[in-house]
Amino acid sequence: MSFSVSRRLAAATALAVAGLLSTTAPAALAVPTAAAAPTPPDIPVANVKAHLAQLQTIATNNGGNRAHGRTGYKASIDYVKGKLDAAGFTTTLQTFTSSGATGYNLIADWPGGDPNSVLMTGAHLDSVTAGPGINDNGSGSAGILETALAVSRAGLQPTKHLRFGWWGAEELGMVGSKYYVNNLPAAERAKISGYLNFDMIGSPNPGYFVYDDDPALEKVFKDYFATVSIPTEIETEGDGRSDHAPFKNVGIPVGGLFSGADYTKTAAQAQKWGGTSGQAFDRCYHSSCDTSANINDTALDRNSDAIAYAIWTLGAGTTVPPGPSFENTADVAIPDAGAAVTSPITVSGVTGNAPATLKVDVNIVHTWRGDLVVDLVAPDGTAYRLKNSSSNDSADNVVATYTVNASSEVANGVWKLKVQDVAAQDTGYINSWKLTF
Ligand code: TRP
Ligand code: ZN
Ligand code: CA
């Protein structure tokens, strides 16, 4: 919101400088109250790479892979789920059995939007057993994860309901995505207006391939790449070889992006995209060298931005500006190893429920923060744990912003920050805290 406003002002200033706009006409600077379609964000590729680094570490610590039925797969699921839960998504773990082992799909719903019109985005999170699977398919998994986190950061309120999926056992024949689609009641299937798939989007010798299964979805991706002047081709390297196939087979429109696997880049393709002709798009496809070194950052960056562009455009959302905030700056002493103390904030004038992304800024001065248990208490008494005590958290002070899914709480009323010091020797006080709706 503030971005588009400042861009508008910048544009108006440029026009004024160019003599095209009278600087004495204040109406020209008025910002329309009806929010225009929000500008899709530039997804920070560094954040996407940070997720890939985590997936690489998970593989390294779990026998070198993140394959179905192996400990590295479940650890990958836990990592992604933790990020989404903290950002206010409603997550569901779906289990299935394949080859005698438990598999997992992770489904994440962004609260809001039309429940009868769902835009779904997915990626497979499993690797083959041969390696860590960072391009195949850490790349798609991290790209959609960071886009989901950007949805949360923007407070996006799209017209459509947004749902994200991380599939298990794709490498065993799209087992997880087939299981999801097969177990979706017909009425629920009918609500999915489109499914976007991202399987391999950071290939080291990349191509820019767009699925051509549905013309409207294909167009959105082509439009994006046109804005950054990157030529694309239709994806033909094994149509139906990824998780969009089960969706397409039940009549759901599908789209997606792909940067190439074991096919060879032609001279013509190297001419327009750079890279090396006569070499595979991904020489480490399905092998042990598919590590965090097996990523082309530019391809990962462009494709991640394209994902955000597609979701913002197809979700056709509007953002709401950050809601009102309420603060209590009165100090409250926290007795050493004593009873819990509270600091109240009275919220009024906010209609309806609190958001799924209620922000809680906490500032506690303390000589050993590990002693402290901190909760947010809603007006009806429901407590949300912000922080547990920990015997090895030996830093001082708690200066942090927490995001709480408080969508089941009525906003108006007296909220409390509740703090208890559960161990002897160190003391402090609540300095201030703030709620932003
Ligand atoms: N799904 C394949 C895998 O994970 C990769 C792949 C090959 C692919 N061809 C494709 C993905 C075409 C999407 C489109 O091994
Ligand atoms: Zn694969
Ligand atoms: Ca103490």
117-131 residue pLDDT tens: 999 999 999 999 999
Q: In angstroms, what is the span from residue 423 Cα to ligand 3's centroid? A: 4
- Contact by Cβ (8 Å): 76, 66: yes
Q: In angstroms, what is the span from residue 328 Cα to ligand 3's centroid? A: 23
Averaged pLDDT of the chain = 90
What is the spatial distance between Cα 80 and Cα 50, in angstroms, rounded to a whole number? 12
C-beta 156 within 6 A of ligand 1? no
What is the spatial distance between Cα 118 and Cα 105, in angstroms, rounded to a whole number? 18
Atom of ligand 1 nearest to the CA of 285: 15
Question: Which pLDDT does position 316 carry in this prediction?
Answer: 85
Judged against a pLDDT cut of 70, whether residue 36 lies above it is answered with no
Average pLDDT rounded to a whole number, residues 183-211: 97
Judged against a pLDDT cut of 70, whether residue 11 lies above it is answered with no
Mutate to test the pocket of ligand 1, among 124, 129, 201, 237 (most ligand atoms within 8 A of CB): 237
Annotation marks residue 170 as catalytic: yes
C-beta 282 within 6 A of ligand 1? no
Q: In angstroms, what is the span from residue 257 Cα to ligand 2's centroid? A: 15
What is the Cβ-side half-sphere exposure of residue 401, based on CA atoms within 13 angstroms? 7
Question: Which pLDDT does position 19 carry in this prediction?
Answer: 29
C-beta 274 within 6 A of ligand 1? no
What is the spatial distance between Cα 171 and Cα 176, in angstroms, rounded to a whole number? 10
Mutate to test the pocket of ligand 1, among 136, 166, 199 (most ligand atoms within 8 A of CB): 199
Give the position of tokens 């208490």: 377
Question: Which pLDDT does position 238 carry in this prediction?
Answer: 72
- Contact by Cβ (8 Å): 332, 389: no
C-beta 409 within 6 A of ligand 1? no
C-beta 261 within 6 A of ligand 1? yes
pLDDT tens digits, 339-373: 999 999 999 999 999 988 798 999 999 999 999 99
Whole-number Cα distances in Å, 281 to 129, 305, 392:
21, 20, 47
What is the spatial distance between Cα 310 and Cα 2, in angstroms, rounded to a whole number? 21
Q: In angstroms, what is the span from residue 241 Cα to ligand 1's centroid? A: 5
pLDDT tens digits, 267-321: 999 999 999 999 999 999 999 999 999 999 999 999 999 999 999 999 984 435 5
Run of H or E residues at 434: strand 428-436
Mutate to test the pocket of ligand 1, among 139, 196, 200, 236 (most ligand atoms within 8 A of CB): 200
C-beta 170 within 6 A of ligand 1? yes
Beta strands in 67-201 (DSSP E): 90-98, 101-110, 114-124, 156-157, 160-167, 192-198
Judged against a pLDDT cut of 60, whether residue 30 lies above it is answered with no
Residue 189: pLDDT band with limits 50, 70, 90: very high
Question: Which pLDDT does position 322 carry in this prediction?
Answer: 59
Structure tokens that stand for 407 in this block: 């969508």
Parallel/antiparallel/unpaired status of strands 358-366 and 398-404: antiparallel
How far does CA 186 lie from the centroid of its chain?
A: 27
Q: In angstroms, what is the span from residue 326 Cα to ligand 3's centroid? A: 28
Judged against a pLDDT cut of 90, whether residue 21 lies above it is answered with no
Q: What percent of the chain has pLDDT above 70?
A: 90
**Which ligand gives the minimal distance to the CA of 334?**
3
Kindly name the residue from 170, 171, 218, 409 that is annotated as catalytic.
170
C-beta 123 within 6 A of ligand 1? no
Question: Which pLDDT does position 49 carry in this prediction?
Answer: 98
Q: What percent of the chain has pLDDT above 90?
A: 85
Residue ranges of alpha helices (H) inside 21-70 are 45-61
What is the spatial distance between Cα 350 and Cα 323, in angstroms, rounded to a whole number? 9
C-beta 247 within 6 A of ligand 1? no
Q: Of 49-58, 99-108, 188-197, 354-363, which range is least confident?
A: 354-363
- Contact by Cβ (8 Å): 306, 227: no
178: exposed, middle or buried (C-beta count within 10 Å: 0-12, 13-18, 19+)?
buried
- Contact by Cβ (8 Å): 96, 103: yes
Question: Which pLDDT does position 78 carry in this prediction?
Answer: 98
Atom of ligand 1 nearest to the CA of 243: 1
**Which ligand gives the minimal distance to the CA of 389?**
3
Average pLDDT rounded to a whole number, residues 149-169: 97
Domains of the chain: 18-315 (3.40.630.10), 325-436 (2.60.120.260)
Which pTM was predicted? 0.68
What is the spatial distance between Cα 305 and Cα 7, in angstroms, rounded to a whole number? 19
Judged against a pLDDT cut of 70, whether residue 17 lies above it is answered with no
Q: Of 69-73, 116-120, 227-231, 320-324, which range is least confident?
A: 320-324
Question: Which pLDDT does position 37 carry in this prediction?
Answer: 67
Question: Which pLDDT does position 401 carry in this prediction?
Answer: 79
Per-residue DSSP letter, 34: S
At residue 256, φ and ψ (nearest 5 deg) are: 165, 180
Mutate to test the pocket of ligand 1, among 233, 242, 259, 294 (most ligand atoms within 8 A of CB): 242
- Contact by Cβ (8 Å): 132, 290: yes
Q: In angstroms, what is the span from residue 73 Cα to ligand 2's centroid? A: 14
- Contact by Cβ (8 Å): 374, 362: yes
